[in-house]
Amino acid sequence: MKNKDYKKANYSVAIEFAESPNDVFNHVINLSKWWPEEFEGESIKLNTEFIFKTGDGHYSKNKVVEFVPNKKIVWLTIESIRKTDNFDRTGTKMIFELTPNGSNTLLKFTYDGVVLEDESDRLVEICDFVIKEKLYNLIESFTATIEVAKTPQDVFNCINDVTKWWSKDFEGNSTKLNDEFIINHPKQHYSKQKLVEVIPGKKVVWLVTESKLDWLKNNTEEWTNTKMIFEISASGDKTVLDFTHEGLTPEKECYAMCEKGWSIIIKDWLFHFITVGTPSKEMAKAAEVRNQLLENKTKMEKKDFHRAITVNASTEEAMKKISQINLWWRKDFLGNAEKLNDKFTVPFGEPSFVDFIISEFVPGKKVVWKVTDCYLPWFQDKKEWNNTEVVFQLSEENDTTKIDFTHIGLVPEVECYEVCEKGWNGHIDTLVKFINE
Protein backbone atom coordinates (compact mmCIF):
# COMPACT_ATOMS: atom_id res chain seq x y z
CA MET A 1 0.00 0.00 0.00
CA LYS A 2 1.32 3.41 -0.98
CA ASN A 3 -0.50 5.20 1.81
CA LYS A 4 -1.76 3.50 4.98
CA ASP A 5 -3.06 6.64 6.63
CA TYR A 6 -6.81 6.19 6.93
CA LYS A 7 -9.21 8.53 8.64
CA LYS A 8 -12.93 8.55 9.26
CA ALA A 9 -15.03 10.43 6.73
CA ASN A 10 -18.60 11.64 7.00
CA TYR A 11 -19.58 13.85 4.08
CA SER A 12 -23.13 14.83 3.11
CA VAL A 13 -24.53 16.53 0.05
CA ALA A 14 -28.18 17.57 -0.41
CA ILE A 15 -30.12 18.37 -3.56
CA GLU A 16 -33.77 19.11 -4.28
CA PHE A 17 -35.64 17.54 -7.19
CA ALA A 18 -38.90 18.66 -8.81
CA GLU A 19 -40.20 15.09 -8.53
CA SER A 20 -42.16 13.04 -5.98
CA PRO A 21 -40.32 10.91 -3.38
CA ASN A 22 -41.56 7.79 -5.18
CA ASP A 23 -40.07 8.92 -8.50
CA VAL A 24 -36.75 9.97 -6.93
CA PHE A 25 -36.49 6.74 -4.93
CA ASN A 26 -37.07 4.62 -8.05
CA HIS A 27 -34.32 6.52 -9.86
CA VAL A 28 -31.90 6.09 -6.95
CA ILE A 29 -32.30 2.31 -6.85
CA ASN A 30 -31.82 2.05 -10.62
CA LEU A 31 -28.06 2.12 -10.08
CA SER A 32 -27.01 0.85 -13.50
CA LYS A 33 -28.34 4.06 -15.05
CA TRP A 34 -26.42 6.62 -13.02
CA TRP A 35 -23.71 5.19 -10.77
CA PRO A 36 -20.36 5.94 -12.48
CA GLU A 37 -18.96 2.43 -11.98
CA GLU A 38 -20.09 -0.74 -13.73
CA PHE A 39 -22.97 -2.34 -11.83
CA GLU A 40 -23.46 -6.09 -11.42
CA GLY A 41 -26.50 -7.39 -9.57
CA GLU A 42 -30.24 -7.79 -9.46
CA SER A 43 -32.98 -5.32 -8.56
CA ILE A 44 -32.29 -3.44 -5.33
CA LYS A 45 -34.17 -4.48 -2.17
CA LEU A 46 -33.38 -5.33 1.45
CA ASN A 47 -30.38 -7.71 1.80
CA THR A 48 -29.58 -7.50 -1.93
CA GLU A 49 -25.86 -7.82 -2.68
CA PHE A 50 -24.32 -6.16 -5.73
CA ILE A 51 -20.93 -5.26 -7.17
CA PHE A 52 -19.35 -2.06 -8.49
CA LYS A 53 -16.32 -2.39 -10.79
CA THR A 54 -14.04 -0.02 -12.70
CA GLY A 55 -12.18 -2.25 -15.12
CA ASP A 56 -9.72 -4.45 -13.22
CA GLY A 57 -8.55 -1.60 -10.99
CA HIS A 58 -11.40 -1.19 -8.51
CA TYR A 59 -13.93 -3.58 -7.00
CA SER A 60 -16.47 -3.37 -4.21
CA LYS A 61 -19.16 -5.74 -2.99
CA ASN A 62 -22.10 -4.07 -1.26
CA LYS A 63 -25.18 -5.15 0.70
CA VAL A 64 -28.44 -3.26 1.20
CA VAL A 65 -28.90 -3.05 4.99
CA GLU A 66 -31.81 -0.60 5.15
CA PHE A 67 -34.61 -0.21 2.61
CA VAL A 68 -37.63 2.00 3.32
CA PRO A 69 -39.48 2.71 0.03
CA ASN A 70 -39.68 6.41 -0.86
CA LYS A 71 -37.78 7.35 2.33
CA LYS A 72 -34.39 5.74 2.81
CA ILE A 73 -31.87 3.29 1.42
CA VAL A 74 -28.51 2.33 2.92
CA TRP A 75 -25.92 -0.04 1.59
CA LEU A 76 -22.79 -1.30 3.34
CA THR A 77 -19.54 -2.09 1.55
CA ILE A 78 -18.63 -5.64 2.66
CA GLU A 79 -15.60 -6.14 0.38
CA SER A 80 -13.44 -3.59 -1.41
CA ILE A 81 -10.09 -3.15 -3.09
CA ARG A 82 -8.43 -0.48 -5.24
CA LYS A 83 -5.47 -2.17 -6.84
CA THR A 84 -3.44 0.98 -7.50
CA ASP A 85 -2.77 1.46 -3.78
CA ASN A 86 -4.76 -1.32 -2.02
CA PHE A 87 -7.19 1.21 -0.56
CA ASP A 88 -10.03 -0.69 1.15
CA ARG A 89 -13.30 1.03 2.10
CA THR A 90 -14.92 -2.06 3.64
CA GLY A 91 -17.35 -1.00 6.36
CA THR A 92 -18.34 2.23 4.61
CA LYS A 93 -22.04 3.10 4.30
CA MET A 94 -23.78 4.99 1.48
CA ILE A 95 -26.94 6.59 2.88
CA PHE A 96 -29.78 8.13 0.86
CA GLU A 97 -32.55 9.95 2.79
CA LEU A 98 -35.62 11.41 1.05
CA THR A 99 -37.86 14.11 2.51
CA PRO A 100 -40.97 15.57 0.83
CA ASN A 101 -40.91 19.33 0.32
CA GLY A 102 -44.28 20.26 -1.11
CA SER A 103 -44.39 18.62 -4.54
CA ASN A 104 -40.58 18.40 -4.56
CA THR A 105 -38.21 15.98 -2.85
CA LEU A 106 -35.10 16.81 -0.84
CA LEU A 107 -32.45 14.11 -1.16
CA LYS A 108 -29.59 13.92 1.32
CA PHE A 109 -26.68 11.62 0.52
CA THR A 110 -24.09 10.71 3.15
CA TYR A 111 -20.78 8.89 2.72
CA ASP A 112 -20.03 7.41 6.14
CA GLY A 113 -16.79 5.49 6.27
CA VAL A 114 -13.08 5.88 5.65
CA VAL A 115 -10.82 7.77 3.29
CA LEU A 116 -7.09 8.16 2.83
CA GLU A 117 -5.84 11.27 4.62
CA ASP A 118 -4.66 12.93 1.42
CA GLU A 119 -7.91 12.21 -0.46
CA SER A 120 -10.52 14.13 1.57
CA ASP A 121 -10.92 16.79 -1.12
CA ARG A 122 -11.15 14.12 -3.80
CA LEU A 123 -13.93 12.38 -1.84
CA VAL A 124 -15.93 15.62 -1.77
CA GLU A 125 -15.45 16.09 -5.52
CA ILE A 126 -16.54 12.52 -6.26
CA CYS A 127 -19.64 12.69 -4.03
CA ASP A 128 -20.69 16.02 -5.54
CA PHE A 129 -20.15 14.67 -9.06
CA VAL A 130 -22.14 11.49 -8.43
CA ILE A 131 -25.13 13.25 -6.83
CA LYS A 132 -25.19 16.72 -8.39
CA GLU A 133 -24.31 15.62 -11.91
CA LYS A 134 -24.90 11.90 -12.51
CA LEU A 135 -28.07 11.47 -10.43
CA TYR A 136 -29.34 14.99 -11.19
CA ASN A 137 -28.93 14.42 -14.94
CA LEU A 138 -30.80 11.11 -14.73
CA ILE A 139 -33.78 12.64 -12.94
CA GLU A 140 -33.99 16.10 -14.54
CA SER A 141 -32.85 15.41 -18.13
CA PHE A 142 -35.39 15.61 -20.96
CA THR A 143 -37.17 12.32 -21.66
CA ALA A 144 -39.79 11.13 -24.14
CA THR A 145 -41.45 7.72 -24.45
CA ILE A 146 -43.33 6.15 -27.35
CA GLU A 147 -44.97 2.74 -27.79
CA VAL A 148 -45.24 1.13 -31.21
CA ALA A 149 -46.63 -2.06 -32.74
CA LYS A 150 -43.23 -3.13 -34.06
CA THR A 151 -40.47 -5.48 -32.89
CA PRO A 152 -37.50 -4.19 -30.86
CA GLN A 153 -35.23 -4.90 -33.85
CA ASP A 154 -37.49 -2.84 -36.14
CA VAL A 155 -37.27 0.09 -33.72
CA PHE A 156 -33.50 -0.29 -33.44
CA ASN A 157 -33.12 -0.24 -37.24
CA CYS A 158 -35.27 2.89 -37.56
CA ILE A 159 -33.25 4.77 -34.91
CA ASN A 160 -30.10 4.14 -36.94
CA ASP A 161 -31.67 5.61 -40.09
CA VAL A 162 -31.32 9.18 -38.82
CA THR A 163 -32.11 11.02 -42.06
CA LYS A 164 -35.62 9.52 -42.11
CA TRP A 165 -36.74 11.01 -38.80
CA TRP A 166 -34.35 13.71 -37.47
CA SER A 167 -32.72 15.66 -40.26
CA LYS A 168 -31.63 15.40 -43.86
CA ASP A 169 -28.80 17.83 -43.08
CA PHE A 170 -26.73 14.77 -42.18
CA GLU A 171 -23.14 13.76 -42.83
CA GLY A 172 -21.42 10.56 -41.69
CA ASN A 173 -22.56 7.14 -40.45
CA SER A 174 -24.91 6.11 -37.63
CA THR A 175 -25.22 2.33 -37.57
CA LYS A 176 -22.33 0.77 -35.65
CA LEU A 177 -20.12 1.38 -32.60
CA ASN A 178 -17.76 4.38 -32.96
CA ASP A 179 -19.57 5.70 -36.04
CA GLU A 180 -19.77 9.51 -36.13
CA PHE A 181 -22.24 11.83 -37.80
CA ILE A 182 -22.97 15.54 -38.03
CA ILE A 183 -26.27 17.40 -38.02
CA ASN A 184 -25.76 20.88 -39.44
CA HIS A 185 -28.35 23.61 -39.91
CA PRO A 186 -26.16 26.58 -40.96
CA LYS A 187 -26.22 29.54 -38.55
CA GLN A 188 -28.59 27.65 -36.24
CA HIS A 189 -27.41 24.22 -35.13
CA TYR A 190 -24.26 22.13 -35.44
CA SER A 191 -23.65 18.92 -33.50
CA LYS A 192 -21.33 15.97 -33.95
CA GLN A 193 -22.42 12.66 -32.43
CA LYS A 194 -20.43 9.48 -31.79
CA LEU A 195 -22.04 6.08 -31.19
CA VAL A 196 -20.53 5.00 -27.86
CA GLU A 197 -22.90 2.12 -27.05
CA VAL A 198 -24.76 -0.12 -29.49
CA ILE A 199 -26.74 -3.20 -28.39
CA PRO A 200 -28.87 -4.45 -31.30
CA GLY A 201 -32.56 -4.48 -30.47
CA LYS A 202 -31.95 -2.98 -27.02
CA LYS A 203 -29.98 0.24 -26.77
CA VAL A 204 -28.17 3.00 -28.66
CA VAL A 205 -26.19 5.85 -27.06
CA TRP A 206 -24.83 8.89 -28.91
CA LEU A 207 -22.24 11.15 -27.26
CA VAL A 208 -22.19 14.75 -28.50
CA THR A 209 -18.50 15.47 -29.02
CA GLU A 210 -18.91 18.92 -30.61
CA SER A 211 -21.76 21.41 -30.74
CA LYS A 212 -22.63 24.98 -31.58
CA LEU A 213 -26.12 26.40 -31.11
CA ASP A 214 -25.77 29.83 -32.68
CA TRP A 215 -28.99 31.17 -31.19
CA LEU A 216 -27.79 30.91 -27.57
CA LYS A 217 -26.55 34.04 -25.80
CA ASN A 218 -24.17 32.49 -23.31
CA ASN A 219 -22.68 29.04 -23.95
CA THR A 220 -23.27 27.98 -27.56
CA GLU A 221 -21.75 24.56 -26.76
CA GLU A 222 -24.40 23.47 -24.25
CA TRP A 223 -24.91 20.15 -26.04
CA THR A 224 -21.23 19.15 -25.91
CA ASN A 225 -20.66 16.06 -23.70
CA THR A 226 -24.39 15.40 -23.38
CA LYS A 227 -25.78 12.05 -24.52
CA MET A 228 -28.82 10.91 -26.49
CA ILE A 229 -29.92 7.55 -25.09
CA PHE A 230 -32.40 5.23 -26.81
CA GLU A 231 -33.55 2.28 -24.67
CA ILE A 232 -35.76 -0.35 -26.30
CA SER A 233 -37.89 -2.91 -24.47
CA ALA A 234 -40.66 -5.35 -25.39
CA SER A 235 -44.09 -4.84 -23.84
CA GLY A 236 -46.41 -7.70 -24.83
CA ASP A 237 -46.80 -7.53 -28.58
CA LYS A 238 -45.53 -3.94 -28.68
CA THR A 239 -42.22 -2.16 -28.15
CA VAL A 240 -41.48 0.75 -25.82
CA LEU A 241 -38.80 3.28 -26.72
CA ASP A 242 -37.50 5.48 -23.89
CA PHE A 243 -35.49 8.45 -25.13
CA THR A 244 -33.32 10.56 -22.82
CA HIS A 245 -31.17 13.53 -23.71
CA GLU A 246 -28.86 13.19 -20.72
CA GLY A 247 -27.56 16.59 -19.69
CA LEU A 248 -30.39 18.55 -21.29
CA THR A 249 -31.73 19.91 -17.99
CA PRO A 250 -34.10 22.81 -17.17
CA GLU A 251 -31.40 25.26 -16.09
CA LYS A 252 -29.76 25.24 -19.53
CA GLU A 253 -30.50 28.21 -21.76
CA CYS A 254 -31.41 25.90 -24.65
CA TYR A 255 -33.82 23.72 -22.65
CA ALA A 256 -37.18 25.29 -23.55
CA MET A 257 -36.45 25.29 -27.28
CA CYS A 258 -34.88 21.81 -27.29
CA GLU A 259 -37.74 20.39 -25.22
CA LYS A 260 -40.19 21.51 -27.92
CA GLY A 261 -37.90 20.29 -30.68
CA TRP A 262 -37.25 16.82 -29.25
CA SER A 263 -40.95 16.36 -28.42
CA ILE A 264 -41.79 16.86 -32.09
CA ILE A 265 -38.87 14.78 -33.37
CA ILE A 266 -39.40 11.76 -31.08
CA LYS A 267 -43.15 11.70 -30.57
CA ASP A 268 -44.13 12.72 -34.11
CA TRP A 269 -41.38 12.19 -36.69
CA LEU A 270 -39.66 9.09 -35.23
CA PHE A 271 -43.00 7.58 -34.21
CA HIS A 272 -44.32 8.09 -37.76
CA PHE A 273 -41.22 6.58 -39.38
CA ILE A 274 -41.31 3.50 -37.13
CA THR A 275 -45.03 2.85 -37.56
CA VAL A 276 -45.51 3.84 -41.22
CA GLY A 277 -42.06 3.19 -42.65
CA THR A 278 -41.69 6.53 -44.43
CA PRO A 279 -40.58 9.99 -43.21
CA SER A 280 -43.33 12.20 -41.83
CA LYS A 281 -44.55 14.86 -44.24
CA GLU A 282 -44.19 17.32 -41.38
CA MET A 283 -40.45 16.64 -41.37
CA ALA A 284 -40.21 18.54 -44.67
CA LYS A 285 -41.31 21.60 -42.73
CA ALA A 286 -38.46 21.23 -40.24
CA ALA A 287 -36.60 24.34 -41.37
CA GLU A 288 -39.83 26.33 -41.27
CA VAL A 289 -40.57 25.10 -37.74
CA ARG A 290 -37.03 25.94 -36.54
CA ASN A 291 -37.15 29.37 -38.09
CA GLN A 292 -40.53 30.13 -36.53
CA LEU A 293 -39.42 29.00 -33.06
CA LEU A 294 -36.24 31.06 -33.31
CA GLU A 295 -38.16 34.07 -34.61
CA ASN A 296 -40.58 33.87 -31.69
CA LYS A 297 -37.71 33.47 -29.23
CA THR A 298 -35.84 36.44 -30.73
CA LYS A 299 -38.92 38.63 -30.61
CA MET A 300 -39.53 37.78 -26.97
CA GLU A 301 -35.89 38.36 -26.02
CA LYS A 302 -35.84 41.75 -27.68
CA LYS A 303 -39.04 42.97 -26.05
CA ASP A 304 -39.47 41.41 -22.62
CA PHE A 305 -38.14 43.46 -19.73
CA HIS A 306 -34.80 41.94 -18.76
CA ARG A 307 -32.00 42.79 -16.39
CA ALA A 308 -28.87 40.87 -15.39
CA ILE A 309 -27.32 41.33 -11.95
CA THR A 310 -24.41 39.79 -10.04
CA VAL A 311 -24.49 39.16 -6.28
CA ASN A 312 -21.95 38.01 -3.70
CA ALA A 313 -23.73 34.84 -2.62
CA SER A 314 -24.17 31.21 -3.62
CA THR A 315 -27.04 30.28 -5.94
CA GLU A 316 -28.83 28.60 -3.02
CA GLU A 317 -28.50 31.69 -0.79
CA ALA A 318 -29.65 33.99 -3.59
CA MET A 319 -32.70 31.86 -4.35
CA LYS A 320 -33.66 31.76 -0.68
CA LYS A 321 -33.54 35.56 -0.47
CA ILE A 322 -35.52 35.93 -3.70
CA SER A 323 -38.32 33.97 -2.00
CA GLN A 324 -38.36 36.47 0.93
CA ILE A 325 -40.46 38.92 -1.03
CA ASN A 326 -41.49 40.92 2.02
CA LEU A 327 -37.86 41.95 2.56
CA TRP A 328 -37.15 43.39 -0.89
CA TRP A 329 -40.41 44.02 -2.77
CA ARG A 330 -43.56 44.40 -0.65
CA LYS A 331 -43.76 44.18 3.14
CA ASP A 332 -47.46 43.28 2.94
CA PHE A 333 -46.75 40.23 0.75
CA LEU A 334 -49.13 37.32 1.50
CA GLY A 335 -48.54 33.58 1.04
CA ASN A 336 -45.44 31.50 0.31
CA ALA A 337 -42.88 31.67 -2.51
CA GLU A 338 -40.42 28.91 -1.64
CA LYS A 339 -41.30 25.89 -3.79
CA LEU A 340 -43.21 24.59 -6.79
CA ASN A 341 -46.96 25.40 -6.77
CA ASP A 342 -46.66 27.86 -3.88
CA LYS A 343 -49.11 30.73 -4.26
CA PHE A 344 -48.74 34.31 -3.11
CA THR A 345 -50.21 37.78 -3.48
CA VAL A 346 -48.45 41.11 -3.83
CA PRO A 347 -50.89 43.93 -2.93
CA PHE A 348 -50.36 47.54 -3.94
CA GLY A 349 -53.02 49.07 -1.71
CA GLU A 350 -56.75 48.39 -1.99
CA PRO A 351 -58.09 47.29 -4.41
CA SER A 352 -54.94 46.54 -6.47
CA PHE A 353 -53.13 43.18 -6.31
CA VAL A 354 -51.17 40.59 -8.29
CA ASP A 355 -51.60 36.85 -7.65
CA PHE A 356 -48.75 34.47 -8.50
CA ILE A 357 -48.09 30.73 -8.58
CA ILE A 358 -44.62 29.19 -8.78
CA SER A 359 -44.98 27.32 -12.06
CA GLU A 360 -41.35 26.18 -12.40
CA PHE A 361 -38.75 25.54 -9.73
CA VAL A 362 -35.22 24.17 -10.17
CA PRO A 363 -33.45 24.54 -6.80
CA GLY A 364 -30.51 26.92 -6.95
CA LYS A 365 -30.98 27.45 -10.69
CA LYS A 366 -34.37 28.75 -11.78
CA VAL A 367 -37.74 29.90 -10.46
CA VAL A 368 -40.73 31.13 -12.46
CA TRP A 369 -43.65 33.09 -11.01
CA LYS A 370 -46.74 32.98 -13.22
CA VAL A 371 -49.41 35.67 -12.79
CA THR A 372 -52.78 33.97 -12.31
CA ASP A 373 -54.80 37.13 -11.65
CA CYS A 374 -54.31 40.84 -11.08
CA TYR A 375 -56.10 44.15 -10.75
CA LEU A 376 -54.17 47.28 -11.72
CA PRO A 377 -56.69 50.15 -11.51
CA TRP A 378 -54.26 52.78 -12.84
CA PHE A 379 -54.33 51.35 -16.36
CA GLN A 380 -56.99 50.95 -18.98
CA ASP A 381 -56.40 47.19 -19.09
CA LYS A 382 -56.58 46.38 -15.41
CA LYS A 383 -55.60 42.75 -16.07
CA GLU A 384 -52.49 43.60 -18.08
CA TRP A 385 -50.16 41.35 -16.09
CA ASN A 386 -52.39 38.26 -16.36
CA ASN A 387 -50.53 35.18 -17.71
CA THR A 388 -47.19 37.01 -17.75
CA GLU A 389 -44.22 35.31 -16.07
CA VAL A 390 -41.46 36.61 -13.82
CA VAL A 391 -38.34 34.50 -14.32
CA PHE A 392 -35.16 34.32 -12.20
CA GLN A 393 -32.37 32.31 -13.87
CA LEU A 394 -29.32 31.74 -11.63
CA SER A 395 -25.80 30.62 -12.55
CA GLU A 396 -22.50 30.44 -10.71
CA GLU A 397 -19.67 32.73 -11.84
CA ASN A 398 -16.51 32.13 -9.79
CA ASP A 399 -17.49 33.10 -6.22
CA THR A 400 -20.55 35.09 -7.29
CA THR A 401 -24.01 34.38 -8.69
CA LYS A 402 -25.43 35.86 -11.86
CA ILE A 403 -29.19 36.40 -11.88
CA ASP A 404 -30.97 36.92 -15.18
CA PHE A 405 -34.32 38.55 -14.38
CA THR A 406 -36.98 38.56 -17.11
CA HIS A 407 -40.62 39.60 -16.97
CA ILE A 408 -42.02 37.67 -19.94
CA GLY A 409 -44.95 39.59 -21.39
CA LEU A 410 -43.88 42.96 -20.03
CA VAL A 411 -43.12 44.47 -23.44
CA PRO A 412 -42.91 48.09 -24.65
CA GLU A 413 -46.32 47.84 -26.35
CA VAL A 414 -48.25 47.43 -23.09
CA GLU A 415 -49.56 50.51 -21.31
CA CYS A 416 -47.77 49.86 -18.02
CA TYR A 417 -44.31 49.24 -19.50
CA GLU A 418 -42.56 52.52 -18.55
CA VAL A 419 -44.00 52.57 -15.03
CA CYS A 420 -43.27 48.86 -14.46
CA GLU A 421 -39.77 49.17 -15.91
CA LYS A 422 -38.92 51.87 -13.37
CA GLY A 423 -40.58 49.89 -10.61
CA TRP A 424 -38.72 46.65 -11.37
CA ASN A 425 -35.37 48.46 -11.60
CA GLY A 426 -35.91 49.93 -8.14
CA HIS A 427 -36.98 46.62 -6.62
CA ILE A 428 -34.10 44.75 -8.25
CA ASP A 429 -31.65 47.29 -6.81
CA THR A 430 -33.16 46.57 -3.39
CA LEU A 431 -32.86 42.81 -4.02
CA VAL A 432 -29.15 43.15 -4.84
CA LYS A 433 -28.51 45.02 -1.58
CA PHE A 434 -30.57 42.48 0.37
CA ILE A 435 -28.70 39.49 -1.05
CA ASN A 436 -25.31 41.14 -0.51
CA GLU A 437 -26.01 41.93 3.16
Give residue limits of the domains in the chain.
Answer: 6-140, 143-302, 305-436
Percent of the chain with pLDDT over 70: 95
Percent of the chain with pLDDT over 90: 77
Position 289 confidence tier, pLDDT thresholds 50, 70, 90 = low
pLDDT in tens, 215-266: 888 899 999 999 999 999 999 999 999 999 999 998 888 998 899 899 999 9
Q: Output the pLDDT for position 275.
A: 97
Fold matches, 143-302 and 305-436: yes
3-class secondary structure per residue, the chain: CCCCCEEEEEEEEEEEECCCHHHHHHHHCCHHHCCCCEEECCCCCCCCEEEEEECCCEEEEEEEEEEECCCEEEEEEEEEEECCCCECCCCCEEEEEEEEECCEEEEEEEEEEEEEHHHHHHHHHHHHHHHHHHHHHHHHCEEEEEEECCCHHHHHHHHHCHHHCCCCCEEECCCCCCCEEEEEECCCEEEEEEEEEEECCCEEEEEEEEEEECCCCCCCCCCCCCEEEEEEEEECCEEEEEEEEECCCCCCCCHHHHHHHHHHHHHHHHHHHHHHCCCCHHHHHHHHHHHHHHHHHHHHHHHCEEEEEEECCCHHHHHHHHCCHHHCCCCCCEECCCCCCCEEEEECCCCCEEEEEEEEEECCCEEEEEEEEEECCCCCCCCCCCCCEEEEEEEEECCEEEEEEEEECCCCCCCCHHHHHHHHHHHHHHHHHHHHC
Q: Model-level pTM?
A: 0.66
Position 3 confidence tier, pLDDT thresholds 50, 70, 90 = very low
Q: Output the pLDDT for position 4.
A: 63
Predicted confidence (pLDDT) at residue 302 exceeds the cutoff of 60: no
pLDDT in tens, 304-334: 899 999 999 999 999 999 999 999 999 999 9
CATH architecture of 6-140: 2-Layer Sandwich (3.30)
The CATH number assigned to the domain with range 143-302 reads 3.30.530.20
Average pLDDT of the chain? 92
| pLDDT (average), residues 153-157 | 97
Position 299 confidence tier, pLDDT thresholds 50, 70, 90 = low
Predicted confidence (pLDDT) at residue 1 exceeds the cutoff of 90: no
272 vs 298 pLDDT, higher one: 272
Position 291 confidence tier, pLDDT thresholds 50, 70, 90 = low
| pLDDT (average), residues 180-198 | 94
| pLDDT (average), residues 358-363 | 90
pLDDT in tens, 75-107: 999 999 998 888 999 999 999 999 998 888 999
CATH architecture of 305-436: 2-Layer Sandwich (3.30)
